[in-house]
Structure 1
Amino acid sequence: MTQLKVGLLFGGRSGEHEVSIASAQAIARGITAPENQSKYSLTLFYIDKNGVWHPPTVSQEVLAQGVPLPETDIQPAQLWQFPPEAAEIEVWFPILHGPNGEDGTIQGLLTLMQVPCVGSGVLGSAVGMDKLAMKGVFGQAGLPQVKYMGVTRSQVWSNPCVFPKLCDEIEATLGYPCFVKPANLGSSVGISKVRTRSELEAALDSAASYDRRIIIEAGVTAREVECAVLGKEQPQASVVGEISFNSDFYDYETKYTAGRADLTIPAALPESVSQQIQEMAIQAFTTLDCAGLARVDFFYVESTGEVLINEVNTLPGFTATSMYPQLWEATGVPFPELVDQLIQLACSLE
């Protein structure tokens, strides 16, 4: 049996670089698990924080140590140089979280290479990354969600006379508490929960330092639940899981520090609510034209019975504490099988 040559692409130019390395470690173990060894030949490709691709020998060292390479000065020509081994890859498995990896950019490059890749294409990735674009599409599809506003960096920074009026509008429209987020970052990077005018001003300034597009969402008292989706034309939804934590909200440190958050799988929800969440997850997945995998996050307002969609993550984390693989494990798809299905699905989409 001929082994399929899989290129595992990790690292990348985003604030989630270290998370990508941890995800890649888990995926590499899944691809090389005994049940997959005869199917796949794994080759590693590390993209450093400057955007330079490194050959398998260097990539293996980074993955083994779990530590990024130090940033160094580079020449522009280095960004156009790919290791020769890249030409041999038959299917790519990009696990690049955040900008320059989850936003359609790497998907476009791999499409130009004319080699299939795991996950959504350019459209689903780009819309899934930009929270404002995503929420606009959700609204058109009739998916219920919290009230929100979109602002730009120029509104926050360029005109001191406009800024107080902007804050007045946010307060009148959304009230407190509310959440201020960069539109194009994942893993809770740059997100602030605010309760006062001074906190709002500081949060907007912080979010503007990350992205030129900013989203502000009304706070809601709700349980945070998530559902994993797998497939393309006929996507399937996993059981529903719930996140609970003691921090003020599900921030970066809570998300990626063992013991800071508890995952309950399956979530203790009425069957009708779980089914509604699964149906909405599939609707969101297809509406955004996602493919392969996605984790869809929701708010369940227990006092009213409402289910509100929060966001879709088209390249969710695959670390030891990540919800996506754990949801499928609880649904009856162990990690090596999940990795196998994702690779096979990528090949079948061509």
Structure 2
Amino acid sequence: MKLTILFGGASFEHEISIVSAITLKEKLHGFDLSFIFCDQDHTFYLIEPSKMKAITFSKSEHKKMPQLSLSNGAFVQKSMFSSTHHKGTVLNLIHGADGEDGTIASLLDFFSIDYIGPRVSASVFSYDKRYTKWLCEAKAIKSVDYQIISSNDVKNITIPYPLIVKPATLGSSIGVSIVKDESEIDYALDVAFEYDKHVLIEPFIENVKEYNLAGFMANGEIIYSIVEEPQKDEFLDFEKKYMDFSRSEQVLKADISEELETKLKTNFAKVYKNMFEGSLIRCDFFVVNDEVLLNEINPIPGSMANYLFEDFTGGIEALASSLPHAKKAKVNYDYIHSISSAKGK
């Protein structure tokens, strides 16, 4: 099966996307893989698989490789006398802006290119943490208490200390701070506002139990990964998450009851259905007093959360064969013809 890994993008998570792509090159054996890199200037490059190394991008060697444009149904490599169309399913592996905010989804939809990844509406509700909270409220999914603060409208904080400050549209714990008392809040807000003009304030829950669950829909049913209990200190900081993006060995299943596993899967299904079809996502949950709370939706998880699946390759193949397709409007100009006929023109 032909699969194109699309990675890079113009975001703070650009380098993390490169790490994910390199990891998947080693994981997806049996696929006819190609790699398309989107640089920070939104130029697309066809990367030779043997050059899928960090140094290729850190030394800008990718700029010597063929540039691509987009045409209906394919990425196109043009030469002086001919064009090569690179067709096949695209796996959107661009983390953060471009990949998770709906930009790439819109582009691929516009050019009728099949892709694994969140559609536009799913991107909107998962990329911005404010909208994720509103999605939870609409779908009756319990989540952590929160307050929204904007850079042009800083309000009194009502969440009690200790608390967490998060930029609304960033992942990988970038710009996130734990604030233990009021003396630290101004600095934490300044850090967060460097990345986003909106931030979320949430309570910092001591010794909270955290569980990660990934999944996708294929042939009409959700295929779940194992449940992971991530190892962390105070919280999963950028460095630890960054290292996670290169993980390829399957992790151990969390030692939890069947009842809790069922609760986690039920909440995952509420998030996924009628929103994330066509994508593999990971949901991060907190469990507080036996109550499951959604912490975060990862619409394009690091290295596609390959380490949570027993048969990751088979899963990607099943997902690729079950992609949703938007209904195309049929244009036949009947209305214009009827007007022209009535006017005798």
Q: TM (normalized to structure 1)?
A: 0.79
- Tell me what 2:42 maps to: 51
Q: What amino acid sits opposite 2:306 in the alignment?
A: P
Is 2:23 the partner of 1:26? yes
Is 2:240 the partner of 1:254? yes
Q: Structure 1 CA distance, aligned partners of 2:167 and 2:68? A: 29
Distance 1:143 1:287, change over 3 A: farther
SS of 2:137's equivalent in the other structure is helix
1:265, CA displacement in angstroms?
2.9
Q: Structure 1 CA distance, aligned partners of 2:174 and 2:50? A: 27
- Tell me what 2:339 maps to: none
Is 2:305 the partner of 1:315? no
1:7, CA displacement in angstroms?
2.1
1:27, CA displacement in angstroms?
2.1
SS of 2:321's equivalent in the other structure is helix
- Tell me what 1:339 maps to: 316
Provide, for residues 82-120 of structure 1, a one-character-per-residue CA deviation record: whole Å limited to 9, x for no partner: 563384222211100111111111010011110110022
Which sections of structure 1, spanning at least 5 residues, go unmatched?
Answer: 157-165
Provide, for residues 197-242 of structure 1, a one-character-per-residue CA deviation record: whole Å limited to 9, x for no partner: 2321111111111012211111123111111111164323222110
Q: Is contact 1:92-1:118 (8 Å) kept?
A: yes
SS of 1:274's equivalent in the other structure is helix
Q: Structure 1 CA distance, aligned partners of 2:39 and 2:131? A: 28
Distance 1:8 1:199, change over 3 A: same
Q: Is contact 2:102-2:124 (8 Å) kept?
A: yes
Which one has a bigger Cα radius of gyration?
Answer: 2
SS of 2:130's equivalent in the other structure is helix
Distance 1:345 1:287, change over 3 A: closer
Is 2:216 the partner of 1:230? yes
- Tell me what 2:227 maps to: 240
Distance 1:127 1:60, change over 3 A: farther
Q: TM (normalized to structure 2)?
A: 0.80
Q: Structure 1 CA distance, aligned partners of 2:278 and 2:55? A: 28
Aligned-pair RMSD on alpha carbons?
2.8
Q: Structure 1 CA distance, aligned partners of 2:46 and 2:251? A: 40
Distance 1:198 1:137, change over 3 A: same
1:162-311 to structure 2, matched below 5 A, reads 166=155, 169-170=156-157, 173-221=158-206, 222-231=208-217, 233-246=220-233, 248-257=234-243, 265-286=252-273, 288-301=275-288, 304-311=289-296
Q: Structure 1 CA distance, aligned partners of 2:251 and 2:285? A: 15
Q: Comparing both structures, which one devotes a greater share of its residues to helix? A: 1
Q: Structure 2 CA distance, aligned partners of 1:278 and 1:327? A: 14
Percent of aligned pairs sharing the same letter: 29
Which sections of structure 2, spanning at least 5 residues, go unmatched?
Answer: 78-83, 327-345
Q: Structure 2 CA distance, aligned partners of 1:87 and 1:149? A: 48
1:149-160 to structure 2, matched below 5 A, reads 149-156=147-154
Q: Structure 2 CA distance, aligned partners of 1:44 and 1:264? A: 27
